[in-house]
Amino acid sequence: MKQPRMFRYMKTSIIVGLMLLGSSVFMAYSHQRKPDIQTKPPPQTTPKVTVYDFSQLVAEVKSTVLTITVLEREQKDQPSSSTAPSAKPPPNLQEEESVRPTPEQQEPSPALQTSGSGFLIHPKGYALTNDHVVKHAKRISVELEDQREYEARVIGRSPLLDLALLQLEVPKGTRFRYARLGRSGTLQVGEPVVAIGNAKGLGLTVTSGIVSAKGRTVGSDEYESYIQTDAAINLGNSGGPLFNRKGEVIGINTAILQGGRGIGFAIPIDIVRQILPQLHKTGKVERSQLGVKVQQVATDVAQLLGLSRPQGALVTDVAQGSAASKAGLKIGDVILSINGQTVRTHQCIPHLVAFQKPGTHLVLKTRRDRKDILLRAVLQAWRKAQHSIEPSAESSEPSTQKSKPKHVGITVASISPHMRQRLKRTPSQGAWIRGVNSGSLAASQGVKEGDILLKVNAIKVRSMAHARSLLATYNPKHPMLLLLQRQEELLYIVLH
């Protein structure tokens, strides 16, 4: 029987409604089981990386960079105008001085032209470069990026830091664009840098990279504290600027690691800032001294001194009458900061002290007896012959007894009058280490026969018998700190 039209419409509507409802339920169910992962992105966990375009920076600063050519040098046997020692690179370093055809690392012949780089730091034509670029130079020519050429003369040198200050000989009233000096102390490892210089004699060449490390020491020179970079530095780059992304000079390109790739070194500009006024005014650098000898604070020494981590500089000697002595600094103190600047390692001391002006006041934060104290020192002018500590009254302990604390492996004896005469630096007290057992704890930590034992755990050794009793207290669970005299040097060694 045929159904009414309205009933058919209702039936159709119900079926369609049920289908739509089922579809909605399915979609809702599917949405719950498979959420859209793009609706709520995960939190950002990867640091932002920026790719830099240095074209505008280079256009701004390249006119401040110089190609330096030494046209004529003095004979090698002629003395330098400075009495300071010449800066020589460690065996594994090369100076970026382009010398043709003389092999690298050899003194250039007076007849050969040599080239390097430099940069202007003043509108009147003052410029900086490396000392080894213009060493013994009689005639110097500089060329700007726009191919203007001038002669220049050296007006200040620091062979110790490998720095030289030049002045271009130009008509009165001539003005130049110059580079701005930045602050190398604020540099962060990983920051982008740009090196510009006369690479391989090709003319001004631009390379870029990052700061690979700071405070790098690659030789035995106590004044080394290089910025390491992977920006390509080649022969001829010596004396050229290392720029940050603001276009400020933060280093002077100086050396490359022999046989290394992407390992170059630059003198931090903060060191240059310290000595620049002296170079300009007097042509040389007058150094200051605190009057101490220091060594690294090892992990075990830090624990004994109550430090949370290895830091600072452990004082092993204080010169009589020195700034340190007058300030009250003592052997065994740890210098933690100087005028608020943290002393990360013992290698920081020369940089924080040597190139301050004599008479500069310093505040030394020092760790002594597991407590921090503040000492105030006034720097003195550097003297080549450092006064050693004057001995006090000699001990009258007889030199007849010996002891062998077998648990540390040391044989001690009293210091005889004959031995005191042979020692260049005579201790007032202490005990002579007559022998060190092979394979013993003391031998493994570097104690040597002939050392003088001065202190055990900060306690002064009064005699051989006293040394014996102190060494007998050694407990493997508790490290023992020894202060030794080895010839003229003092050093700390930890037994553990």
Task: Find residue 149's DSSP bridge partners.
Answer: 143
Return all residues near 216 (Cβ < 8 A) that are at least 6 apart: 224, 225, 226, 227, 228, 265
Tell me the backbone φ, ψ of residue 252, rounded to 5 degrees: -115, 115
CA distances 382 to 109, 288, 405, Å, are 34, 5, 44
Catalytic residue among 117, 136, 158, 162: 162
Q: Is 132 a catalytic residue?
A: yes
Q: Pick the catalytic residue from 238, 337, 414, 440.
A: 238
- pTM here? 0.65
Distances (CA, A) of 3 to 11, 13, 14, 359: 11, 15, 16, 116
Residue with tokens 């409604």: 17
pLDDT at 468: 87
Q: Are 330 and 320 in contact (CB under 8 A)?
A: no
Walking along the chain (496 residues) 10 residues at a time, the average pLDDT comes out as 55 56 51 51 64 88 94 64 39 40 40 79 95 91 93 93 94 93 93 92 90 79 81 89 95 82 89 91 88 85 83 88 92 91 85 85 91 93 54 33 58 80 69 86 85 85 87 80 81 81
**What domains does the chain contain, in order, with CATH numbers?**
49-75+84-285 (2.40.10.120), 288-381 (2.30.42.10), 402-495 (2.30.42.10)
Cβ(52)–Cβ(245) below 8 Å:
yes
Predicted pLDDT at 335: 94
Catalytic residue list contains 372:
no
403 catalytic? Reply is: no
Cα(251)–Cα(270) distance, integer angstroms: 8
Of 132, 136, 346, 466, which residue is the catalytic one? Answer: 132
Contact 390, 366 (CB under 8 A): no
Structure-block tokens of residue 99: 């010398």
**Distance of alpha carbon 234 from alpha carbon 93, whole angstroms:** 12
119 in Cβ contact with 198 (< 8 Å): no
* Cβ atoms 393, 434 nearer than 8 A: no
Q: Which positions ≥6 away from 79 have C-beta within 8 Å? A: none
Q: Which residues pair with 251 in a beta bridge?
A: 268
Nearest to 226 by CA among 396, 92, 415: 92
